[in-house]
Structure 1
Amino acid sequence: MLQGAAGRLSADGSSVRAMRTPLRRVVAAAAGAVTAAGLSFTAAPPAGATTATPTTAGAAITTAGTAPAATSHPPTGRAASGRDSLFPGQGTDAYDVRHYDVALDYAKAGTISATTTVRATAARPLPRIDLDLEGLTVRSVSVDGRDATWSRTGTKLHVVPRATVHGDFTVVVRYGGRPVTHIDPDGAKDGWVPTADGATVLSEPVGAQTWFPDNNTPADKASFRVAVTVPAGTEVAGNGVLSGESTRAGRTTWTWVQREPMATYLAMISIGQYDVYRSSLRLADGRTIPVTSFIDPDLGSQAAARAQIAPAVRFLERHFGPYPFSSVGIVASRIKVGYALETQTRPFFDGPVDTSTLVHELAHQWYGDSVTPADWGDIWLNEGFATYAEWWWQEAHGGQTRAEAFAKAYATAADDELWGPAPADLHDPALLFSDAVYTRGAMTLEALRHRIGSAAFDEVLQRWAATEEYRSTDTDAFVALAERVSGQRLDGFFDTWLYTPGKPARP
């Protein structure tokens, strides 16, 4: 995700201050041209300590400092309690969803009639099944083919089957009404966003519950089949591969299949008047996948952006490993949310698409979509990596180097958003998309490269994408991998960069 105004940079890189506190891309907004290639750090001082300035060009980022006797950071909220650290009311670890099947009928008036089938497995007996659903009217619920009783509390749908479930079970929920737009803790919109010609659903972080009942946590990934029926002449973008498009009695059904596991926050549909562009892409591993893009005609053809998809994917494959999915493409429209989003296989852009943002969202297909944090408190594993991919692309295409991007960011004076919260120790969900997550997350990776060397660093990134493919994971697993590959003890390094508020100090 790239956000305007407080985390999600807008699709054209501009700031949308009306929605969020500003997030500045390092390359666009750090004041002054800093040519230093790197810095030398010790452990981080307490928040509010005097800031440092970069050294002269050519200095090395050593980040060698005083390491604690043992790893000092706490486990993530989910690891400690089974609940997400930033959204404790969302999702559950009581069962594991294997597949969602969503059949949704959309009317021009903006209402929907839908049926969602949830196929899941419970490792222990469950007398009640909790799902997340916001707004909408539930009409009936069944479990394993038998009517079930249900009740609602806030955004929870409590389902009581006739018999306790254990092992595999299936829940079918029939529902409808006018979907709501969810407002995030930082004031941004997600979930179902109505437009003049339809609607777009952007589910991060918890907006998926506005259009289908689900286990709304990044810790639970599943395959998806989504069939959306709309008035003929209307297009529907979705995740994965378009497996069917059929018209009957003036209604067209678009069926999207995402076979690779997907977190609910990455699920997307976009209904509207689109120009659809189809081509194919041959990947590094020999596969050929479809490239399907949906462009609002008001934005022109976005030919330059579409032409960059293949070069960007090939560039990212060289550094991160094989592309993890079976399709790719983009969706570009104007819905006035002020951010781009890494919706799986087909990122969404709110307006014209610039190359840097395209690289950012495509990098998420590896880091965020395939490799997903199990807890929202580890979102730096998404945004720090994608921001770093932007830096790397710029370096490879004649722009500033990664070390220069790091130095420019470090030259930023005392900035509460950048240096205040620790990227992997967030306590306020309103800071989920803050500069500390994006920029300091990317700086952590660049500092790690200088600490362990480029060869080991490159191996860490590729092995992270390969060993955690299609899984939900956490920062501790990344730290452990970096230590195995480098042969170094890095707990002090990561405590400084990820778990300690304040700006890391110069000796």
Structure 2
Amino acid sequence: MAPLSRAAGEPNPIDVLSYHARLQLLSPRQWMEGSVEITMTPIQMLSTFFLDLVALQVDSVVCRDHALRYRVLSPRLWIEAESSLAPGDTLRFTVFYRGAPGNDGFGGFFYLDEFLFTVGQGIYSTPPSMTRYWLPCHDEPADKAYWSVEIIAPRSVSALSNGKLLKKTEQDAVAVWHWREACPMSTYLMAITAGHLVHFKDQVVSRDGDAIALNFYARSEHESMAKSDWRRTGEMLLLFEKKFGPYPFDSYGMVEVPMRGAMEHQTLTSFSTYLITGNGEYENIVAHELGHQWWGDWVTPADWRDIWLNEGFASYCEALWQEHLHGTQGLQTTMAHFAAEYFLEADRLGAFSLYDPTYLWGATVYEKGAWILHMLRFLLGDFSFFNALQTYANRFGGKNATTSDFARVVSEIYGKDLDWFFQQWVYQPDIPEWRAAWQCETSAPRTYELQLTIEQRQRHGILLTAPLEVEIRLRNRALR
């Protein structure tokens, strides 16, 4: 058979509509056997396309309506139809595969500490979509699809995935857990977890009057600490509904896994064992991951160049939570910390643009991204700023968005073109440098004349437009 492939970098013009997987987890062997039924449609005329798949063996590709040939050239599974497919045609086929799924050290598929779990993003991989390590898929954030899965696992463990548990059946030593997510999602947000877990619940009534189930899963020895650390999740959800609009999904869950950090899988956040302390030390991360359900999961970047639309927004959720708890002082303290973290990174790595960043997982994307929103809030005022966020969520919810899309929404709400703002703060790496001098003279008894000079001096000669707040501190008060 001639190689089924095209030139590297050539587009893969397909739109996957749904995945239905059946996965048998064989943890003693760190092995998986599975199948996935994929329904897709072409975006343009084609006969050859590919799925992303890393280092797993494909046994067959079966289609009832078309003759398909396939060839595995990792990290891709190439498929060729006997006749061309046109836009609007629907192709449904099943891939049968097996092997020992891998990871990049942060994202992918893991067997650790008697746990099996997946993490959808890999910080050591380009691109960072990691579902390709355990599922044949079109592993691009712009291709959202429906997801359901049957997980076959030992009866002694809980097997979890996104969305709602439709049913659980038991036979002999195994159980089959059937999960389905009602809203389309990007593949990097799919997740499975299996392990010895206890399940505890909460519920919150949304602003629309709907009951939203909160499902939490933790190791039995960590249950009390997890209950303490996650107890304010419902309060956070109601705060974010007030700021961003209705919670977009039917339920929300968190599951303890032995990973580093946390990951915002749609409706089921994976949360590190090492972040569960019982004293709320990492409560901001709880807020961050919940915020992703709006920013990243419901509204998803079209590609990884717009990662700040995920992480900058979720980081600002941390600041909003601190403002909720501690008022203006909590907000200012958080933003000052974010600024310090960003300048440390800029000193270490050099300044680079927020759009299409040199490094995706650092303070430029997270903390500077949060500052972009904070500056827009200052520019627009609270009412218009949160109106812009809600409009953005309504317009692009369940879809993909770009920085340009967000900029258009904000400009629309502001009533003026904000291209200048996004060009200098998002698309360019420049950092403003200010010098201030002041002189105060007594012009009359108890009357003072203050002369303040603020000068912007940029290393590269590009002046940035920026409104400034000036605070004058007197003996017993401050003026702004």
Q: What is the TM-score of this pair, normalised by structure 2?
A: 0.81
Preserved CA contact (<8 Å) 1:275 1:297: yes
Q: Does 1:420 align with 2:420?
A: no
For the residue of structure 2 that corresponds to 1:118, the secondary structure is strand
Whole-angstrom distance in 1 between the partners of 2:41 and 2:98: 26
**Cα distance in structure 1, aligned partners of 2:397 and 2:260:** 30
Could you say which residue in structure 1 is the equivalent of 2:111? 194
Could you tell me how far apart the structure 2 residues matched to 1:408 and 1:117 are?
Answer: 47
Q: What residue number does 2:235 align with?
A: 311
Identity of aligned residues (%): 29
Quick check: 1:91–1:132 contact (8 Å CA) kept in 2?
A: no
Instruction: Determine whether 1:113 maps to 2:33.
Output: yes
**1:150 equivalenced with 2:74 (yes/no):** no
Residues 1:257 and 2:180 are matched in the alignment: yes
Task: Provide the residue aligned with 2:90 in structure 1.
Answer: 168
1:156 and 1:453 mapped to 2: Cα distance?
A: 48
Task: Give secondary structure in 1 for the equivalent of 2:376.
Answer: helix
Contact 1:360 1:386 in 2 (8 A): yes
Is the deviation greater in 139-148 or in 189-198?
Answer: 139-148
* 2:253 and 2:268 in contact (8 A); partners too: yes
Q: Does the 8 Å CA contact 2:108/2:119 hold for their aligned counterparts?
A: yes
What is residue 311 of structure 2 aligned with on the other side? 383
1:277 corresponds to which residue? Answer: 200
Map Cα deviations across residues 394-449 of structure 1 (whole Å, 9 max, x no partner): 011016343443344445656426861211132x4xx1112100000000000111
Aligned residue identity for 1:228: I
Q: What is the CA–CA distance in structure 2 between the aligned matches of 1:442 and 1:340, rounded to whole Å?
A: 18
**1:99 maps to 2:30:** no
| 2:424 aligned with 1:496 | yes
Deviation string 1:200-233 (CA, Å, 9 cap, x unpaired) is 0111132101111101000000110011000111
Residues 505 and 499 of structure 1, relative CA distance in 2, 3 Å threshold: farther
Partner in structure 2 of residue 131 of structure 1: 51
Cα pair 2:164 2:181 within 8 Å, conserved: yes
1:486 aligns with 2:411: no
1:97 Cα deviation from its structure 2 partner: 0.9
**How far did 1:91 drift?**
10
User: 277-286 vs 457-466, which deviates more?
Assistant: 277-286
Q: Which amino acid aligns with 1:304?
A: S
How big is the shift at 1:175?
0.3
1:145, CA displacement in angstroms? 4.4
SS in 1 for 2:146: strand
Q: Which residue of 1 aligns with 2:376?
A: 448
8 Å contact from structure 1 (residues 92, 217) kept in 2 = no
CA RMSD across the alignment? 2.0
SS of 2:43's equivalent? strand
For residue 171 of structure 1, give the secondary structure of its aligned residue in structure 2. Answer: strand
The separation in 1 between residues aligned to 2:336 and 2:417, in whole angstroms, is: 25
Which runs of 5 or more residues in structure 1 are unaligned? 1-87
**452 and 418 in structure 1: CA distance in 2 versus 1, 3 angstrom threshold:** farther
Instruction: Select 2:99's aligned residue among 169, 177, 185.
Output: 177
Say if 2:198 and 2:223, in contact at 8 Å, map to a contact too. Answer: no
Deviations 1:14-73 (A, max 9, x none): xxxxxxxxxxxxxxxxxxxxxxxxxxxxxxxxxxxxxxxxxxxxxxxxxxxxxxxxxxxx
| Aligned residue number for residue 159 of structure 2 | 236
Mapped partners of 1:458, 1:90: distance in 2: 39
Q: Does 1:159 align with 2:83?
A: no
Structure 1 residues 278 and 264: CA distance shift in structure 2, 3 A? same
* Higher Cα radius of gyration: 2
**Where does residue 330 of structure 1 map in the other structure?**
254
What is the letter of the counterpart of residue 223 of structure 1? Y
Report the Cα offset of residue 126 of structure 1. 1.5
Counterpart residue number, 1:37:
none
Please say if residues 98 and 222 of structure 1, whose CA atoms lie closer than 8 Å, have aligned partners that are also in contact. Answer: yes
Matched AA of 2:418: L
* 1:482 positional shift: 0.5
Cα distance change of structure 1 residues 92 and 358 upon mapping to structure 2, 3 Å threshold:
farther
Code of the residue aligned with 1:194 in structure 2: it is Y
C-alpha separation in 2, matches of 1:101 and 1:319: 35
Contact kept, 8 Å, 1:149 with 1:161, in 2: the verdict is yes
Give the SS at the match of 1:464. helix
CA, structure 1 residues 100+490, in 2 after alignment: closer, same or farther (shift >3 Å)? Answer: same
Q: Write out per-residue CA displacement over residues 362-415 of structure 1, whole angstroms, 9 at most, x where no aligned residue.
A: 000000000000110101000000100100110110163434433444456564
Q: Determine if contact 2:304/2:356 at 8 Å carries over to the other structure.
A: no
TM-score by length of 1: 0.77
- Superposition misfits of 4+ residues, deviation over 4 angstroms: 88-93, 144-147, 411-414
Greater relative CO, 1 or 2 (CA 8 Å, sep 6+)? 1
For 1:116 and 1:415, how far apart are their aligned partners in 2? 42
Higher percent of residues as strand: 2
- Once the two structures are TM-superposed, the CA of residue 320 in structure 1 deviates from its matched residue by 0.7
> 1:49 — aligned with what?
none
CA distance in structure 2 between the aligned counterparts of 1:221 and 1:403, rounded to whole angstroms: 37
In structure 2, C-alpha distance between the alignment counterparts of 1:504 and 1:143, rounded to whole Å: 58
Would the aligned equivalents of 1:419 and 1:436 in 2 still touch at CA under 8 Å?
Answer: no
Change beyond 3 A, Cα 1:324–1:363: same
1:476 match: secondary structure: helix
- Report how far residue 122 of structure 1 moved: 1.1
CA distance in 2, matches of 1:410, 1:434: 13
- 1:65-84, CA deviations, whole angstroms, 9 ceiling, x for partnerless residues? xxxxxxxxxxxxxxxxxxxx
- Letter matched to residue 51 of structure 2: L
Cα deviation, residue 151, structure 1: 1.0
Aligned to 2:120: 203
Contact 1:101 1:224 in 2 (8 A): yes
1:348 equivalent to 2:270? Answer: yes
Q: What amino acid is aligned across from residue 494 of structure 1 in structure 2?
A: F
Amino acid at match of 1:256: W
- Give SS of 1:162's match: strand
Q: CA deviation at 1:136?
A: 1.3
